[in-house]
Amino acid sequence: MSVPLRQSQRHAQLVCELNEAAHRYYVLDRPTISDAEYDRLFRELQALETGNPDLRSTDSPTQRVGAPAREGFETVAHQKAMLSLDNAMNESELADFHGQVVRYLEHNLESFAIEYTVEDKFDGVAVSLTYIDGVLVRGATRGDGTNGELITENLRTIRSIPLRLQNLESSSNAQIEIRGEVLIRKSDFAKLNLERAEAGEELFANPRNAAAGSLRQLDSAITASRALTFFAYGIGVAQGYELPETQLATMRWIAARGFQVAPSLQLVTGLGEAAPELCAAFNRFAAARADLPYEVDGMVVKVNSLALQSELGFRQRSPRWAIAAKFPAVEEHTKLLDIKVQIGRTGALTPVAILQPVKVGGVIVSRATLHNQDEIKRKDLRIGDTVVVRRQGDVIPAIVAAIVDMRSGAERIFEFPSHCPVCGAAAVRENAEDAAVRCPNRDCPEQVAQRVLHYSGRKAADIDGLGSKLVALLIEHRLLSDLASIYELKISQLAELPRMGELSANNLVAAIDATRRLPLHRFVFGLGIRHVGERTARLLANESLSIESFLQLNPERLSAIHEVGPETTQEVLRVLCDPTERAAIGRLLAQGLIIQPVEVAAAGEQPLSGKSFVLTGTLVSMTRDQVQAKIIELGGQVSSSVSKRTNYLVAGTEAGSKLEKAQKLGVAILGENEFLALIGG
C-alpha cells in the first residue's frame, strides 16, 4: 500500500525532531521544550506508523525507550528490558485503557471488575538495582531500555537505597532486581540551585535534570554531596525468592526489604465503561500534585493481579497492563520575540520561535519549534504576540495560540523567507503535498554542516571530536565542502585554526582515519538519504551485500525488500540516479574507504533464507534488536504478528499472546537455546 508522500515526509520530520528532543533531555540534561508538545508529536508519530507500517524504522522514537548510554560509563545489558508506559492524557483515555484491558481478557466490560494499583508518577531517573544474596552488586540507568549506564558506586551514595536487603527469605545465590526512580525533593533542589548560583555555576533547569546530572558524575563524591532519594516501583527479575501474587503485595514486600515506595500507593476498582473510581483517583492525584514534596507529572496505573499482568503481556514498547495517566498541561504566557529559520541536512527550512524566557512547570523555556510556515499561518502567530506556552511534563514546549486580545498593533506578521537565509538560494516546495520548503542548493554551508554531522554521528562513521562548533569553523575556513573533504583534512591545516593546536589536530585526524573501514549499513546510513534510518540502512545493506551492488540497486530489487516502502524507494533511487549525488558518493569512496561487505554463508545459501520469524518475550543472551538483526543478516524475515505463513516463533521469558496463537496454528516454537542452535550459537 502506497504511503502518501506528505505523510512520509511528516514522519521523517517527526523522527528527527523527537530524537533531537530526547537527546537534549536525556543525554545533555538541558531540556529546551516540554512534555506537552512532545506527547502530541509522539502520538502523531504513533498514528502515522499505525496507519502506515512501512514507515516504521528502528531509529523511530516509538521503537525505543529513553536514550542511549552516555560516554564515560560502562554499558551494561538489562536482563529484562526496562520498558516505558503508554500515556493517557485525560479521564476519557484512562477509561479507554480500562476498557482495552477488559476486552483483551475477553470479559464483559459492564460486569467484570479489575483491581488496579495507583501511585504517583515520579519525575526522576529510572534505575535498576541488582542484589545477589541480599547484597547490592550492580546499579544501572534505564538507558535505551535494553542497555544502560553502570553507575553502581554513585547509587551506593544514596542513603535511601539499602546496601543489604532486610528481612530476607531466600535460597543461596538468590538474585533480585529492584527497579525505581531516583529523584531530588523540591526543597533540596532549591537549596542546590542556590549553592550553584552563589558559586557562579550554571543552574539546573528542574529537579529531574538535577537528579540526572547528579547520577552521571564520574566522581561519586559529587553524587554523594547531592540530596538524592530513591523510590522503588517494582521488580525486574528474581531468582530464589517466593514472591506475592499481586502488585500491591509486591510493593509491600519491597517496602519490607528496606525501600521507600510511593506513599500514595493504593487500590482502586475499575468497573464499567466510564471506570469512575479510576477517574476519581486521577483527579485526586492531580489536585494533590502541587502540595507534594517532590515533582510528579502523572499517576501510574497497574493491574493488581500478576496473573492477569502475565496474561495481558506486552506490546513492543510497553506493557498492556499499565499506563501513565498524565496530568493536565501546565501553561504560561510569554512574548514571541522573534522567529528564526534553521536549515536541515535535506535543505528543509524549519522556523523556530524565540521566546522571552519563562518558567513553565519548572523548566525555563526560551525556544520552541514551529514546524513549518503552514503551522505559523494556521495559528496566526505574529512577532511580538503574547502567546500561550504549554507543557505536560518536562520535555517539549509548544506555542498553543496567540492571545489576540492582548495585541497592541505593533506586532509584525512573519514573512517566511523566499530564499535560504544562509546561502540565498530561492527556496522551493517540491510538491503541493510537501509541508516543507527547502533550499535546493546542495552546497549550502548549513546543509553541508548538517550532512557532515550526520555522517560523523555515532550510528554512522562515529568520528570522535567532530562536533557542530568545529564543523562550522572548518566550513568557515573552507576546509569542508562535502563528506569527502572530511578525509582530506591535514594536521597542518587544522593546527592553524583558532583554539585548535597540534595535539587536537592530531587527535582529530587519527579519529577520522579510524573510520576509513566501515560496515556497509553504517556507510549507507551515513549518506543521509531521506527516510533511510538505521534499520532501513541495514535492510538495504543486507539486500546489496556490497557497496558495488548497493550502487546498482533498481526499482525491482528495492520493491522486493520487506519494510522498504515506495517513498523510501523513490528517495534511494533519486540519490543513486542523480549525477550530482553519485559524484559526491564517488568522491567519498575515492578517499580510500573500505566498505565492508555483509558476511553471509554464501550467495543464495543463507541459512534462514525464505523463513519468517515472529518474536515474543525476552531473551537473556540477546536483545530484541540483536535477534531481529541476526535473522535478517542470515536471510530471514521478521514479522510483528503470527500467521499461517510464520515458520518460527522465538519465545523468551514472559511470552505474550503470540505464543498461544502460534500453538493454535501449529507454528514451530523456539526457546532461547533452540534459536541459538538454529543460528549457529
Q: Return the CATH architecture of domain 75-326.
A: 2-Layer Sandwich (3.30)
> pLDDT tens digit string along 591-610?
999 999 987 544 445 678 77
Which range is least confidently modeled, 59-63, 215-219, 283-287, 396-400?
59-63
Q: Is 121 a catalytic residue?
A: yes
Which range is least confidently modeled, 37-51, 109-123, 564-578?
37-51
Quote the CA–CA distance of 672 and 653 in Å, as a whole number: 9
| Mean per-residue pLDDT, 646-665 | 83
Q: Is the model's pLDDT at 562 over the cut of 70?
A: no
Q: Which of 172-186, 549-563, 611-625, 656-670 has the highest mean pLDDT?
A: 172-186
Q: What is the mean pLDDT of the chain?
A: 86
Quote the CA–CA distance of 582 and 575 in Å, as a whole number: 7
Q: Is the model's pLDDT at 229 over the cut of 90?
A: yes
Q: Is the model's pLDDT at 88 over the cut of 90?
A: yes
Q: Is the model's pLDDT at 133 over the cut of 50?
A: yes
Quote the CA–CA distance of 91 and 140 in Å, as a whole number: 34
Q: Is the model's pLDDT at 494 over the cut of 70?
A: yes
Residue 66 has what pLDDT?
42
User: Do the domains 518-596 and 445-515 match in fold?
Assistant: yes
Which range is least confidently modeled, 116-120, 353-357, 512-516, 637-641?
637-641
Q: What is the DSSP letter of 599?
A: P
Strands 266-270 and 114-122: antiparallel
Burial class (CB in 10 A: 0-12, 13-18, 19+), 100: middle
Cα separations (Å) of 246 from 80, 265, 310?
20, 13, 11
CATH T-level assignment (fold) for domain 5-63+329-413: OB fold (Dihydrolipoamide Acetyltransferase, E2P) (2.40.50)
Residues 6+ away with beta carbon under 8 Å from 301: 88, 94, 97, 116, 117, 118, 278, 322, 323, 324, 325
Residue 516 has what pLDDT?
95
Please say whether the beta carbons of 59 and 533 come within 8 A. Answer: yes
Percentage, residues of the chain above pLDDT 90: 49
Q: Is the model's pLDDT at 225 over the cut of 90?
A: no
Please say whether the beta carbons of 381 and 411 come within 8 A. Answer: no
pLDDT classification of 392: cutoffs 50, 70, 90? very low
Q: Greater confidence, 57 or 447?
A: 447
Residue 305 has what pLDDT?
96
Please say whether the beta carbons of 365 and 395 come within 8 A. Answer: no
CATH T-level assignment (fold) for domain 518-596: DNA polymerase; domain 1 (1.10.150)
Cα separations (Å) of 380 from 333, 374, 402, 404, 415?
16, 10, 7, 9, 12
Q: Is the model's pLDDT at 237 over the cut of 80?
A: yes
pLDDT classification of 32: cutoffs 50, 70, 90? low
The active-site residue out of 80, 121, 302, 658 is: 121
pTM of the predicted model as reported, rounded to 2 decimal places: 0.49
612-678 CATH, one of 3.40.190.10, 3.50.50.60, 3.40.50.10190, 1.10.1040.10: 3.40.50.10190
Domain locations along the chain = 5-63+329-413, 75-326, 445-515, 518-596, 612-678
CATH T-level assignment (fold) for domain 445-515: DNA polymerase; domain 1 (1.10.150)
For CA atoms 454, 18, 561, 459, give the dihedral sign: positive
Say which amino acid occupies 133: D
Q: What angle do CA 339, 343, 345 make, to 5 degrees?
A: 155
Quote the CA–CA distance of 552 and 102 in Å, as a whole number: 52
Q: Is the model's pLDDT at 198 over the cut of 90?
A: no
pLDDT classification of 441: cutoffs 50, 70, 90? very high
